[in-house]
Structure 1
Amino acid sequence: MASGTSESLCGVWGSSGSDVFAVGAYGTILHWNGTTWSTMPSGTTVWLDGVWGSSSNDVLAVGDEGTILHWDGTAWGTMASGTNANLYGVWGSSATNVFAVGDSGTYMAGTIRHWNGTNWDGIGSGTFYGIGTLYGVWGNSANDVFAIGDSGTILHWNGSTWSSLSVGVPDVRLEGAWGSAGNDVFVVGVSGTILHWNGTSWSTVSSGTSQSLSAAWGTSSKDVFAVGDGGTILHWNGTAWTGVSGGSSRSLCGAWGSADEDVFAVGDGGTGFHWDGSSWSGMDSGTLNPLFGVWGSSTNNVFAVGGSGTIRHWNGTSWSWMSSGTISTLHGVWGSSANDVFAVGYSGTIRHWNGTSWSGMSSGTSENLSGVWGTSSTEVFAVGAYGCIRYWNGTGWIGMTSGTTSRLSSVWGNTGNDVFAVGSGGRIIHWDGVSWTQMDSGTTEWLHSVWGNSSNDVFAAGEYGTILHWNGISWSSVWSGTTQDLFSGCRISPDEFLVVGKGGVILRSISPACEAELQPYAVVFSGLGGASNLAVSAAPGCLWEAASEASWITVTSGATGSGDGSVGYKVSMNLDPERTGSIRVAGRRFWIGQKTATQTFNDVASGHIFFPFIEAIFAAGITAGCGDDNYCPEGPVTRAQMAVFLLKAKHGPSYVPPEPTGAFTDVPTSHWAARWIEQLAAESITAGCGLAQFCPDNPVTRAQMAVFLLKAKYSSGYAPPAEAGVFADVPIGHWAGPWIERLAAEGITAGCGTGTYCPDNPVTRGQMAVFLSKTFGF
């Protein structure tokens, strides 16, 4: 199913087949209505791990930092949990009897919170020492509840106290539980562990897998599913557990993409997958040999290399065999162009593609080579066993002193003078253009892949789900959410990367140069839209970018920043059903919800040509209409009205000009618009209509409006470029020609039709709304 998100999803619950909630990373909450998944504003960016509800209007989601959210059928709200502990599981017997479990922030201690319908510190709450973190909770009734976690812990609630149950698996982490009755409960955990409770004692059940299992659910005692790492899906038929085909459990060894909607992953047994931006689909690579590396110059020119000298080529339609000229296993592939590709492998093998055929190159080594990367056709690095590094200068391969005997698995660089190589024992070395030096990785795990975005945004991945990040100063560990070995990573867009590994693991995540906190976490706009700002809190030197993820949300300022900053954004009017979008900043999402616009004025229905513009200036506080809940869109705009419109648009809806002094003979100080008219003159936007008069009741012409708008937008001294004769009725030499053509060049007007502008026509109130909205960005 297409979920509409790339974030990790950790929990799911539904009241029916058309009312399902899924929660996950960075405050992600999705809702299934029976047809599609849609994003819900959660109001938080913390990781959410569990979700459960008593009904469609009473749903709870729990997560990091003691977060508990409540859905009342209309919106998600925050609940005071009484703890800062990370919460991983939630279950209840009713709306007034709910348990949430997690860690306690204290070594070898777990926490349980209980909701009694009023608060989260009711009977059954507390910290439990000596048991480790609790990951799951499930019950048969209010007096028969099981909480599970680290070190084989299973706690049981009998309605008054929690007690520990002996299960005989002291070193196993238990993560998921489900039962059909109080005497038929399954608990699943790491290394394929499945336990069964018959009402009296626990017994171990053979799962047939060594993959870690994280969740269980069923419909009856003979229809239970358990899921876990590597795409593992098991089914219990009442007698035995058997595997169910999901995606792929084969290890994936190589990944490459031309864009975030065009990604290839290859692996064991010739496994090939393609990501089209919404889903993964299997590809027939045409070989059963394992594939270890993949690279392409474009979406229609991709090379995959592997065992026994295998090289497969993708032309955009199908994979085909290529004659490599070797039977040596090939582990890495990279090119500077479609006609300059290098493949490296065992016994120092290096093959080169010139656009026509593959040929052998003398590498000068017999060591196994695992990775290859370069900056151009005359600067290529190949790395391998015993610290071997070979360098191609366009003429021949020469040896480099690496300073290590570790096996090097992968190489990547930002430039030719900023190159990273990673390998066994957590080894990371760096080339500065002069020499290779050791770096402190902080790990001893084997690192299989290195890739990056810039000199201060580099990633390495390896054994047991290890992911490290280089920020330009030091390497730090990044939580991957898996314990599977990771073999290859690549950047698929400026701020996203993909990692693949053992058991068919595919991770897709954001690659920020640093972390940032956003305030607020989420907002809801009316259907009229509007503009606001988002505060970004980040460490000094933290570089971040802000990008809209919805066409109706525009970042207006602060698209990039360093350290603390602010992002300005604008939300367009919404005439469609309620919608949700987001702005992504440094790996965080700021959620924006928007309602549907409703009609404000009796005489401007939603189908009116000027409806969005009139509603926009109303929302901005520029106009309240012409009286009796009408706007009078066809009515002319007088020069007095124009003065008010322009100054409110320029200075804001709360702006009030100074008291009038009687600057114009036909505008006494008692005139309703006197202060606005005199301020317009004070700002040199107008000098009046002549002879110390302003002509307040005269209609404003379209030619005059062009001058007024541009002077108000820029300044009284603004002078537009010379006219070129764009409109048939505004000849070169027309007094307002340059102003009219500039207004058109800025997209504020397209004229009045058939290549004309109608400069002497009066401006209607509807047209005025368009002019103001487009000029000032309402």
Structure 2
Amino acid sequence: MTQAPNAERRQFFRQLLGGTSSQPHRAPWHRVPEVGAGDGDVLWSGWSGEGEVFVVGDEGMILRYRGGTGEGSQRWQHMEVPAKLPLHGIWGLRADDLIAVGWMGSILHYDGSSWQQVRGGIIDENGRFASCAENTPLFAIDGNAQGQAWAVGDDGIILHYDGNQWTAETAPTRINLRAVACAADGTVYAAGGEGTVLQRQLDGSWVQLDCPLGSGFQAILLLDDEILLAGGRYFVDPGGFRGELVRYRDGLFQALTFDQPMPRLRSLKAYKDGVLIVGDKGHLYYLKDLKLDRLESNMPHDLMDIIALPTGEALAVGDFGSIMTAADDFTAALAPPPGAVPRSAWTAMASPTDRQLWGIHEAADGTCYACGEAGTVLILKGDSWRALPAPSELSVHCVWDTGNGLFAAGQLGRIYRFDGQDWQLHHDMHLDLTILSMWGSGPDDLYAVGDEGLILHFDGLSWKRMSSGTQSALYSLWGWGKDRMLAVGDFGLVLRYNGKDWAEFNVGTENFLYSVWGPGLNDIYTVGLSGSLAHFNGQRWQLQPTRLRDDLLSVSGTSADNAYAVGTRGRILRLQAGQWISEPSGSDVGLRAVCATRNGAVYAVGDRGTILQREPTQPRTPLLDQP
């Protein structure tokens, strides 16, 4: 395409979003300039987020648009790919962690620097694509907030990605599948030819829904209380494909009929309080309250998919290298508008210190304490935090109330005891070792762990060092009684205590583990470096995908349905129905410790004296009440 003059180009990127306030969906659609795809290129799908757009198409084409501020950054770029096979779908939670699927079972992964082929495209000894199940073409992919994804394609193939590897799931059909969508509660839907609609149950099994219609479904959209499916069938009478929309509601399928005939429909997405639909021959429609409006596209080429943008605008991609939008400035539509930051359930509390806070603890009587640099020890009185006298000028990394005094420990292996008025040095190792965590079952049973495999035990009379069998640092300690404790540390180290000895307990990761917690011996979580998260179910540890770069530094809870993990850059995860969900903290500072209290309040502390409090958890919303 001919490059627009610079003045016009800059104006294009500065103008306000298209549409009118009265009928925002009525703005005419136009082609996005400077795409760089040719007339022979088919663009099948795309993804947007974090100010970027990725579009995939034939011959392994992946176009990337970065909505930066410099002239050079606002260009469509052709990305290098390992194979020139058509790519039909793309999904991901972040711009540096994307998955594309396509022809010959191709699955490509982008890690922020390059695309790598992880599955499919198998070549036989004759240099041709092998006739094998792994080469079954894939046409759609979708995933959930936990980083799991499902891809579907020919012959009823369904592949599941658990965050680490792909596995095939048993489908109740051999019909070609062309669409997949993940619901918030873990249910997954897939659709394809001959009216095929599948539902994945929470136990992982797939069942076929009883759809009496013979539509060839190409797209699926989950709405508040219903599901919309779009596609078409070939009819001899009109001599071509006829588009069809089907609604699934209250267990029944219903074909939606309209006065105007539609060509085959390819995609549908939520759009400006309604539904945007694209199809063959450049057709665009807006559906709301069962009223269908044809939109102006001025383009005769087939449109294959819709890419939703953060502001509610959208791109439509298709044949002949087409990328279209109704937004005057699609670059502005890549970023959320001012004030569109997701509301956080966490609020900042007034803090009496600007020192880094390392730990937080709830005593048996419900009193909460926090501790940190330069001898900082805080106590929560009502809704206010106030400072206690400092045990010393040394950093305090952990506190524990045994019911017979508050203990504080940290640098230089020193442990102090507070009697309600003054601090007294309770134990001094005379070593440059830092105590990092404490846990106890009562006044005569308190443990402390720290640098170089340090484990100390207080029996009510004196502190004694225990043999740990390691020189690695131990960062966290959690227990369920005198003979049931875990300590975690460097390089995936987990030690368990049986009342007599400490022994290693293999997790299966080399990442540092910074915290451990669990409501029972058969339900334990540990978190650590680069988003590491593992779960023990009573028989074995299983690593759980978080797809995070942030370090997770602390985990705490009161039950299997009330647990939280916090980490760097204000990262907070909440455990819900066995899945860890990321939720906004409203802060970008590092969070070092979290404490879920027995009365329902949750507190997180961290850098610069930050103290956050979470609102009480609201009742869960049923699946179809969520968009």
Structure 2 length normalisation: TM-score?
A: 0.45
Higher strand share: 2
Q: TM-score, normalised by structure 1?
A: 0.37
Structure 1 or 2, whichever has the larger Rg, is: 1
